[in-house]
């Protein structure tokens, strides 16, 4: 195993986005534009929900989903959580003119603790295809990141309810869902990308710990959507 500070650095460009009326930063030869298309061209995060006061964007990547939410819900406060260092730097650049977006350089987990983030060191998925675990396991390259729980975010920022919880965390959702009893009752709506292919048991953990708390579920592309919380 080898501890690394980052994957191979890619060239950064910017382009004007007519969808949000600002320049956005991205990396050439990466998956950034594919994410942009998912968010802004395919409208995968356009949900039939009431205007939320608080949005948690877990796995915020470079901030495209957070920017979409800020455009659609300008009065919402958006907490954008991203562990990967280069992703986080672009998240900061893309959201710097949005005071209602609060970037947080953490990996979301069931508790607050240091975690190991395994990363490919090159190729288009270097900033996308990574996983977080308590140990590096068999990973050849890893970095240590700070883990934080949803409950800690709720307490730190004095959050009453989470109007929308977006989760795209490359398999860590299994750990998150299996320890969801302290926060699931505070969530009004969820949109999740489940990664059963990366972490077997993700689908079962959703069905066991999350699905029973919502009256309506649907799928859209790669996402599972949960609405109408059962109180």
Residue 55's H or E segment, with its range, is strand 54-58
CATH number at residue 172: 3.40.50.150
The reply to whether the predicted model has a pTM over 0.75 is yes
HSE-CB of 108 using CA atoms within 13 angstroms = 31
- Show Cβ contacts of residue 215 under 8 Å, excluding neighbours closer than 6 positions: 227, 228, 229, 230
Task: List the 223-229 sheet strands across, edge first.
Answer: 101-104, 77-81, 54-58, 164-167, 190-193, 223-229, 214-220
Whether 4 is in a domain gets the answer no
Domain that holds residue 54: 30-112+144-229
Structure tokens at 93: 């650049």
Is the Cβ–Cβ distance between 125 and 118 less than 8 Å? no
126 belongs to a structural domain: no
For the segment 121-164, what is each residue's pLDDT rounded down to a tens digit? Answer: 554 444 456 789 898 665 567 899 999 999 999 999 999 999 99
Residue 131 lies in a domain: no
What's the domain count of the chain? Answer: 1
Token pair belonging to 115: 């975690």
Is 9's pLDDT higher than 90?
no
pLDDT at position 136: 64
Q: Is residue 164 part of a domain?
A: yes
Residue 17 CA: distances (Å) to CA of 42, 163, 178: 14, 26, 38
Render pLDDT for 56-91 as a digit per residue (tens, 0 to 9): 999 999 999 999 999 999 999 999 999 999 999 999
Rounded Cα distance between 211 and 227, Å, is 10
| 3-state SS assignment for residue 201 | coil
DSSP 128-185: TS-EEESS-TT-SEEEEEEEE-HHHHHHHTT-S-BSEEEE--TTTHHHHHTT-TTTGG
3 close to 143: Cβ distance less than 8 angstroms: yes
pLDDT recorded at residue 231? 84
Determine the pLDDT at residue 1. 29
Q: What percent of the chain has pLDDT over 90?
A: 81
Q: Does some domain include residue 201?
A: yes
Q: Does residue 130 fall inside a structural domain?
A: no
- The answer to whether position 16 is within a domain reads no
23, part of any domain: no
């Amino acid at each position: 195993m080898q501890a690394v500070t980052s994957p191979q650095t890619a060239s950064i460009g910017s382009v004007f986005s007519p969808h949000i009326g600002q320049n956005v930063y991205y990396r050439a030869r990466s998956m950034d534009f594919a994410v942009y298309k998912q968010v802004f061209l395919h409208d995968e995060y356009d949900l039939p929900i009431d205007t939320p006061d608080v949005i948690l964007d877990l796995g915020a990547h470079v901030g495209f989903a957070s920017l979409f939410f800020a455009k659609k819900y300008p009065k919402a406060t958006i907490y954008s959580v991203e562990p990967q260092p280069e992703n986080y730097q672009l998240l900061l650049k893309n959201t710097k003119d949005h005071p209602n977006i609060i970037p947080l350089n953490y990996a979301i987990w069931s508790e607050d603790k240091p975690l190991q983030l395994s990363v490919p060191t090159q190729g288009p998925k270097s900033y996308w295809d990574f996983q977080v675990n308590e140990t590096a396991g068999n990973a050849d390259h890893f970095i240590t990141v700070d883990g934080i729980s949803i409950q800690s975010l709720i307490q730190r920022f004095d959050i009453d309810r989470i109007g929308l919880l977006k989760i795209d965390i490359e398999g860590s959702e299994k750990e998150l869902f299996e320890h969801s009893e302290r926060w699931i009752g505070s969530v009004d709506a969820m949109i999740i990308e489940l990664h059963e292919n990366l972490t077997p048991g993700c689908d079962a953990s959703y069905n066991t710990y999350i699905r029973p708390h919502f009256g309506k579920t649907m799928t859209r592309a790669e996402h599972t959507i949960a609405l109408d919380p059962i109180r």
